[in-house]
Amino acid sequence: MVMKRLGKYEVGRTIGEGTFAKVKFAQNTETGESVAVKVLAKSSILKHKMVNQIKREISIMKIVRHPNIVRLHEVLASRTKIYIILEFVTGGELFDEIVHQRRLPENESRRYFQQLIDVVDYCHSKGVYHRDLKPENLLLDSQRNLKISDFGLSALPQQGVGLLHTTCGTPNYVAPEVLSDQGYDGSAADVWSCGVILFVLMAGYLPFDEADLPTLYKKIDAAEFSCPPWFSPGVNSLIHRILDPNPKTRIQIEGIKNDPWFRKNYVVVKHPEEDETVNLDDIQAVFDDIEDKFVSEQSEGIGKGPLIMNAFEMITLSQGLNLSALFDRRQDYVKRQTRFVSRKSAKVIISTIEAVGESMGLKVHARNYKMRLEGISANKRRQFAVALEVYEVAPSLFMVDVRKAAGDTLEYHRFYKNFCSKLEPIIWKPTEDAAKSSLLRTITC
């Protein structure tokens, strides 16, 4: 087993993965607080020329302090890696909520949209434009409040003077003027994305969704969409004012906040006033550091078997003492990160997953009880990848953690259902009550 300590943080399992970074669960050993650690390899950042983008993301997260934004605690660095210490958000993605419920009720959609507009308005007041707003970048805390994450494509104040010119974001949520490559107002572009999100919340599907990009761009440019019949007249009117293809006549945030539909049960988000100027000098120091001054990485108890998940991690993973999440494999409810339990040996689990992955036409990479399955997305737009890791949670009892590493989240949902159906021989299906009580006794002994 490998345990890492990053200064005062004890780092555990991987809870997220992207093209250039991994996100790991960690605990502050001084306060007991749970945090998320975004780990980036300096070599990868340099290789892909992403130094300025990563600096920008960290700088923006220091500038913006709002209850509906994932909090940046601090940034650490070693000779080879950068560690961004973030607030640990437990409620999952808003995207998962939409998939689970098919579509959200109007009042619930309005509450999320009100929080979204509030926080976007706050960012714009700081000169920050997100430019990649979508349900996958909207998390939920334990109180079901919105938390914006991933500022990797945002524009800083000094870059936001005049028009922006970088085409970025996820095509289905991007404003037509961004796609035209003729310069755009970051504020108006973010408003458009908020309108698409509101539509998705209430409809359960995208207003603009085509298999080929030229057709998709044409529909976005013409704002060619229609609201389903269950939309109330109020929200129908507001969405059409937001999804106006002309950014000059598109409703602005002030207009949205004065809209009657928006104002129903509206509670203004209160956030503390900043009483100090944000200093960004330490960010440059993090990137310049090559002497390992910030962090001491210590490996303890290195072994050859799968990682052992301790009781604290198990309880945190299951959000308290409710362990149903470990055994709940309803095929209609798949999250971006999900898991199953097996009584088979770790080697049998790995070999079975390898065989199933190859049978699905995926490239399989395996090392130290960690795996990555790679392929091309169904619409052939981008790479699709899934990461897996095997944990020993008790003697002869293993948990396989499965998470999306690249590609579309909806495609991952479809993949996981098919994937699990092929893994039935190794998945343990205990009776629910007996499983929970037996496992709880095991991990708390």
Instruction: Please enumerate in sequence order all residues whose Cβ is within 8 A of that of 117, keeping only pairs 6 or more positions apart, or say none.
Output: 194, 253, 256, 257, 262
Question: Tokens 């970051």 map to which residue?
Answer: 186
List, in sequence order, every residue forming a beta bridge with 406; answer none if it has no partner: 385
Total residue length of the chain: 445
Helix (H) or strand (E) holding 213: helix 213-221
Q: What's the rounded Cα separation, in Å, for the pair 387 and 399?
A: 14
Q: Look-up: residue for tokens 């390992």?
A: 292
- Among 383, 384, 401, smallest CA distance to 392 is for 401
What 3-state class would DSSP assign to 400?
strand
Beta carbons of 240 and 198 less than 8 angstroms apart: no
* Contact predicate 341/327, CB 8 Å: yes
Catalytic residue among 96, 118, 121, 132: 132
Record the tokens describing residue 337, joined without a space.
């990160």
- Is residue 86 within a helix (H) or strand (E), and if so which, with residue range? strand 81-87
C-alpha 300/C-alpha 310 separation (Å) is 15
Give yes or no for a contact between 57 and 152, defined as CB atoms under 8 angstroms apart: yes
- Residue 246 CB contacts under 8 Å (≥ 6 apart), including other chains: none
Query: Among residues 159, 197, 189, which one has the least CA distance to residue 57?
Result: 159
Catalytic status, residue 132:
yes
3-state helix, strand, coil in the chain (%, to 5): 40, 20, 40
Measured from the Cβ of residue 255, the count of other Cβ atoms closer than 10 Å reads 14
Q: How far apart are CA 402 and CA 187, in angstroms?
A: 36
Q: Is 47 annotated as a binding residue?
A: yes
- Beta 397-406 vs 383-394: how paired, if at all? antiparallel
> On the CB side of 432, how many CA atoms lie within 13 Å of its CA?
8
Q: Which residues are annotated as a binding site?
A: 47
Q: Supply the residues annotated as catalytic.
A: 132
Q: Which residues are annotated as a binding site for ATP?
A: 47
